Amino acid sequence: MATISTTSGYATDDTVAINRYLESIEVFFSNWPIPAAMEASKLRKTPSLDELEKKNLLEGFEEIFLRLQKEMGMKSRDLIVLHPGTPGLSEMLDRFSPCHTHDDEEVRYIIDGEGEFGFVLPTGEQALLKIGPGDFIRIPKNTEHWFVLTEKRCIKAIRYFSDTAGWVPKYTSTKVKIS
């Protein structure tokens, strides 16, 4: 279940309230149930996957990809699988934990595990959104944000792209004030 907390002390786990809060930065958040056929998938719960297993797992979410192609113009997708045994995990996470933006939107559907997206609002307030299985998030381009894993250090997320070239992080000078 998703939760949001802010530097001003606001906190909720209500999806409607989370969306209302994130409207000021045009972030869209929703919870889409994991397709029934994939809910019990052994691959969804396996910590480490090879490329063929990733491809097979992605195929189980094809209906969602087709919907996003039609509704949002998504052109490609991949599956990111992070767990404590991922080579270079700390270095990889270090690239996304400082405040940054992207030249393209960031679209994720979490299928297992959990992480936290942080956001800087126009007022300077910061918000931390904890996400897990079934959570879908769309972060507009040029939105100041960051990403960290929770203490479980495991996540499987389908990343959707309209253009992968715009996905390089552009770091800002804003310091993270909430964790």
Q: Is 71 annotated as a binding residue?
A: no
3-state SS of the chain is CCEEEECCCCEECCHHHHHHHHHHHCCEEEECCCCHHHHCCHHHHCCCCCHHHHHHHHHCCHHHHHHHHHHHCCCEEEEEEECCCCCCHHHHHHHHCCCEECCCCEEEEEEEECEEEEEECCCCCEEEEEECCCEEEEECCCCCEEEEECCCCCEEEEEEECCHHHHCCEECCCCCCCC
Q: How far is the CA of 77 from the CAs of 8, 20, 55, 136, 158, in angstroms?
A: 36, 27, 10, 14, 7
Q: Is 83 annotated as a binding residue?
A: no
Q: Is 100 annotated as a binding residue?
A: yes
Q: Is 106 annotated as a binding residue?
A: yes
Q: Which residues are annotated as a binding site for Ni(2+)?
A: 100, 102, 106, 145
Q: Which residues are annotated as a binding site?
A: 100, 102, 106, 145
Q: Which residues are annotated as a binding site for Fe(2+)?
A: 100, 102, 106, 145
